[in-house]
Amino acid sequence: MARVLVVDDAKFMRITLANILREAEHEVAGEAENGAEAVALYRELQPELVTMDITMPEKNGVEALKEIKSEFPQAKIIMCSAMGQQKMVVEAIEAGAKDFIVKPFDKSRVVEAIQRVMG
């Protein structure tokens, strides 16, 4: 079981992902709706895992990922993206993201990604 910070600007997506996580017996440590909030909450909660949307206002997911990884090199972050964001997904992986999941979320793919990252 992992303590997870769920980051997405769409409340519906946060709820969907949180439900998948809880069904898989993970704990939702917190939720953020933009990259700036994600960085602040990561510092405060220090979750074991983050699911990070790529496209968000204020600070996008790749910027937030880089900021978190610079302070917490051990951070485990899974990026979430819609189709057609391959360039940003590649940038996120190069910046230290452990995996990525595509929206709309497939429950088995989400659970599999978390198991692989948490090892």
pLDDT tens, residue by residue, 68-84: 999 999 999 999 988 77
| CA proximity to 9, closest of 46, 29, 38 | 38
Q: Is the pLDDT of residue 54 over 90?
A: yes
* pLDDT at 89 (0 to 100): 86
Which segment of 81-85, 94-98, 113-117 scores lowest on mean pLDDT? 81-85
* pLDDT at 33 (0 to 100): 97
Strands (DSSP E) found in 1-119: 3-7, 27-32, 49-53, 77-81, 99-102
Q: Is the pLDDT of residue 95 over 90?
A: yes
Mean pLDDT (the chain) is 95
* pLDDT at 77 (0 to 100): 98
* pLDDT at 88 (0 to 100): 86
- Taking the CB of residue 103, how many other CB atoms lie within 10 A of it? 17
Answer CATH for 3-110 from 3.10.450.50, 3.30.200.20, 3.40.50.2300, 3.40.720.10:
3.40.50.2300
- Write out pLDDT tens, residues 30-39: 999 999 999 9
Distance CA 59, CA 65 (A): 10
pLDDT band at 100; cut points 50, 70, 90: very high
Instruction: Give the Å distances, CA to CA, from 44 to 37, 84, 110, 113.
Output: 11, 33, 25, 24
